[in-house]
């Protein structure tokens, strides 16, 4: 199957269950509500898809809500082993380097404006710039009041280095050359000039006892680092729990085989998929065909994805409903109501009706059912607790960095191990980033065009100089399009 056929499906896979993954009893308050990032568009989608949501959540004669339209699930799917599994819960060990990295991030967020002196590496600058080729401004090469972190590598080589040493209010011409592999054929390998004006710049403060006392709840810098470590450790536990859930589910999913798809359920899912994109196309005054094309895929690919989505969604619901039937679970039992309450807390809403109003009844039911079944699979599995540090693992909470040698030797060995591990990780990141950069550049223009048509052209300057910040904004937009849809399958990654 061509990789591009999963573009829209990947965009569709942010659902209630994802945010709720950290809302079990062990992870209360760990997950931020993605509902906070949704705009009024979601309400429109939820309202217009209400009829489909009602179709998906069927009520039996006993009053129990069901996720599929059929009563005997066993006629449609053979569910793989879901009890007695052996799973690993691997929690990443928090290192000093990780703590220092997070501290630097927090300090960067507290950057203070510098009124005298010149720009240094790491400063956050606000600039105006105009890019020209042969004296003519090119599309996407102009912006005003643009905020950039020097050294972040978001712009082409030479741009950020050229700003170092500039003073507030200074204007400077940067003679640069776009990379040969740049996505825009008009600019690839071309010499250009950027006229840059430095409006202002900020600099991160140093971590001192005085700064910690004034800006945090801690009295000293050391106490602040301890708090950061605690936060990272909690995040590592939450991440490990999410991975455990994903592994548990995917183990059952891959071992299950559909005999036949209930046609009513398939039709409902396909309609849901198409209606979602029609709604967003309307917001941008676009036809569905134009909106799909803007994402770099054809209508044939879109129809194929619609079918794939429907099959994935129905398979998920068949498995969840089948396990719930076999184990006498319902969406109204005590544990399911507990999950419902955690969803309400996680999304910071008044009650379940608010979630239903925003995302639709089907999405809420499916999310509760999925989390309920994941909990059951894990509760009935043998889970081995591990701590990981790079490629090394320790069992039952043992520190994998400890080798039983003397204290001094252990510290030295641990430092060396951390250095080697971070060098290896950084090298892997650079290689992966280079590969992803080449792939993503091909998609940037289409996504950016679609984003601007829906959100408006004023969000950012254009595609020719698309930065990491812009790409994150675009990806977040497309990821949040169908937040109320809920689907899981082995080929799709949900938690990041």
> Are the beta carbons of 273 and 306 closer than 8 angstroms?
yes
Q: Would you say residue 391 has pLDDT above 60?
A: no
The tokens for 184 are 């825009």
Higher-scoring residue by pLDDT: 121, 420: 121
Q: Which position has the token pair 């906070």? A: 36
Residue 121 backbone class (left: φ over 0; alpha: ψ -120 to 50; beta: rest): beta
Residue 268, pLDDT > 80, answer yes
Is residue 355's pLDDT more than 80? Answer: yes
Q: Which tokens belong to 248? A: 């548990």
Average pLDDT over residues 424-429: 46
Which pLDDT does position 463 carry in this prediction?
Answer: 37
pTM: 0.64
**From CA 493, how far away is CA 446, in angstroms rounded?**
23
Q: Which two tokens stand for residue 128?
A: 């105006």
The predicted-structure confidence for 374-390, as pLDDT tens digits, reads as follows 999 999 999 999 888 75
For 143-156, b where at least 16 C-beta lie within 10 A, e where not — what string?
A: beebebbbeeebbb
According to DSSP, the residues that pair with 127 across neighbouring strands are 146, 198
pLDDT score of 407: 43
Query: What does the alpha-carbon distance between residue 451 and residue 432 come to, in Å, rounded to a whole number?
Result: 26
- The answer to whether residue 324 scores a pLDDT higher than 60 is yes
Quick one: pLDDT at residue 442? 38
Beta-strand runs (E) in 30-135: 58-59, 65-66, 77-78, 86-92, 112-114, 124-133
The packing angle between helices 361-379 and 334-346, to 10°, is 120
Ramachandran region, residue 145 (left: φ > 0; alpha: ψ -120 to 50; beta: rest): left
pLDDT at 51: 42
Residue 11 has pLDDT above 50, yes or no: no
- As to burial, measured by CB atoms within 10 angstroms (0-12 exposed, 13-18 middle, 19+ buried), residue 121 is exposed
Q: Does 233 score more than 90 pLDDT? A: yes
**Is pLDDT at 28 greater than 70 in this prediction?**
no
Q: Which of 87-91, 360-364, 420-424 has the lowest mean pLDDT?
A: 420-424
Phi-psi map region of 487: left, alpha, beta (phi>0 left; psi -120 to 50 alpha): beta
d(CA 91, CA 376): 21
Burial class of 135 by CB neighbour count within 10 A (0 to 12, 13 to 18, 19+): exposed
Q: What count of other Cβ atoms lies within 10 Å of the Cβ of residue 407?
A: 7
Across the range 295-301, mean pLDDT stands at: 85
Identify whether the C-beta of residue 128 lies closer than 8 Å to the C-beta of residue 199: yes
Q: Which among 203, 276, 241, 263 has a CA at the least distance from the CA of 485? A: 276
The yes-or-no verdict on residue 465 having pLDDT over 50 is no
Work out whether strand 382-389 and strand 86-92 pair parallel, antiparallel, or are unpaired: parallel
> Taking 80 as the threshold, does the pLDDT of residue 103 lie above it?
yes
Nearest to 277 by CA among 288, 266, 289: 288
Chain centre distance of CA 66: 29
pLDDT for 240: 92
Q: For residues 20 and 348, what is the distance between their CA atoms, to the nearest angstrom?
A: 12
Q: Judge whether residue 298 has pLDDT over 70.
A: yes
State mean pLDDT over 467-479. Answer: 44
Among the listed residues 188, 166, 186, the one whose alpha carbon sits nearest the alpha carbon of residue 178: 188
Most trustworthy range by pLDDT among 18-22, 202-206, 285-289: 202-206
Place of tokens 């900020």: 202
Mean pLDDT of all residues in 408-413: 43
Give the helix ranges, DSSP H, for 258-333: 263-283, 288-294, 299-326
Say how far residue 238 (Cα) sits from the centre of its chain: 15
pLDDT value for 222: 96
Nearest alpha-carbon partner for 496 in 482, 476, 477, 481: 476
Q: Between residues 299 and 388, which one has the greater pLDDT? A: 299
Instruction: Supply the pLDDT for residue 294.
Output: 80
- What the block records as the tokens of 370 is 């999925």
pLDDT value of position 390 = 52
> Between the ranges 22-26, 59-63, 328-332, where is the mean pLDDT highest?
328-332
Instruction: Categorize the per-residue pLDDT at 272 as very low, low, confident or very high, splitting at 50, 70 and 90.
Output: confident
Phi/psi at 135 (nearest 5 deg)?
85, 0
Least confident range from 4-8, 223-227, 405-409: namely: 4-8
Mean residue pLDDT of the chain comes to 74
Q: Retrieve residue 179's tokens.
A: 């990379």
Instruction: Find where tokens 């359920």 sit.
Output: 265
Strand partners, 87: 383
Per-residue pLDDT at 20 exceeds 50: no
Question: Which two structure tokens, joined as six digits, stand for 442?
Answer: 């091909």
pLDDT band of residue 184 (cuts 50, 70, 90) is: confident
Between residues 190 and 45, the one the model is more confident about: 190
Mean pLDDT of 176-190: 88
């Amino acid at each position: 199957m061509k990789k591009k056929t999963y573009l829209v499906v990947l965009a569709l896979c942010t659902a209630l269950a994802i945010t709720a993954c950290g809302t079990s009893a062990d992870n209360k308050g760990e997950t931020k509500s993605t509902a906070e990032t949704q705009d009024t568009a979601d309400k429109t989608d939820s309202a217009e898809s209400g009829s489909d949501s009602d179709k998906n959540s069927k009520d039996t004669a006993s009053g129990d809500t069901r996720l599929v339209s059929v009563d005997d699930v066993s006629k449609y799917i053979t569910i793989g082993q879901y009890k007695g599994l052996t799973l690993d819960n691997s929690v990443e060990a928090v290192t000093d380097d990780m703590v220092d990295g997070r501290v630097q991030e927090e300090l960067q967020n507290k950057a203070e404006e510098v009124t005298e002196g010149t720009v240094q590496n790491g400063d956050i600058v606000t600039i105006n710039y105009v890019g020209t080729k042969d004296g003519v401004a090119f599309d996407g090469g102009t912006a005003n009041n643009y905020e950039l972190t020097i050294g972040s590598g978001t712009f082409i080589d030479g741009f950020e280095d050229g700003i170092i040493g500039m003073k507030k209010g200074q204007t400077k011409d940067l003679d640069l050359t776009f990379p040969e592999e740049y996505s825009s054929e008009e600019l690839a390998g071309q010499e250009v000039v950027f006229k840059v004006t430095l409006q202002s710049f900020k600099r991160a403060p140093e971590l001192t006892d005085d700064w910690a006392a004034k800006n945090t709840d801690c009295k000293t810098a050391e106490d602040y680092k301890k708090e950061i470590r605690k936060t990272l450790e909690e995040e590592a536990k939450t991440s490990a729990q999410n991975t455990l859930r994903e592994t548990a589910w995917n183990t059952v999913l891959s071992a299950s085989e559909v005999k036949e798809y209930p046609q009513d359920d398939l039709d409902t899912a396909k309609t849901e998929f198409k209606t979602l994109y029609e709604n967003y196309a309307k917001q941008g005054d676009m036809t569905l065909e134009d909106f799909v094309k803007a994402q770099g895929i054809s209508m044939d690919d879109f129809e194929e994805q619609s079918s794939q989505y429907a099959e994935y969604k129905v398979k998920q619901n068949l498995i969840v409903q089948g396990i719930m039937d076999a184990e006498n679970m319902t969406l109204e039992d005590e544990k399911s109501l507990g999950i419902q309450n955690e969803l309400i807390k996680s999304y910071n809403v008044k009650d379940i009706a608010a979630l239903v109003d925003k995302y639709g009844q089907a999405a809420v039911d499916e999310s509760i059912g999925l989390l309920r079944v994941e909990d059951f699979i894990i509760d009935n599995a043998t889970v081995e607790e591990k701590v990981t540090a790079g490629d090394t693992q320790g069992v039952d909470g043992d520190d994998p960095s400890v080798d039983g040698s003397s204290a001094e030797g252990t510290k030295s060995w641990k430092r060396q191990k951390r250095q080697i591990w971070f060098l290896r990780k950084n090298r892997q990141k650079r290689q992966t980033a280079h590969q992803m950069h080449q792939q993503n550049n091909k998609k940037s223009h289409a996504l950016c065009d679609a984003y601007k048509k829906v959100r408006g052209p004023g969000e950012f300057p254009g595609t020719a100089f698309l930065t990491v910040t812009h790409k994150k904004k675009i990806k977040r937009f497309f990821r949040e399009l169908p937040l109320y849809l809920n689907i899981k399958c082995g080929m799709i990654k949900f938690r990041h």
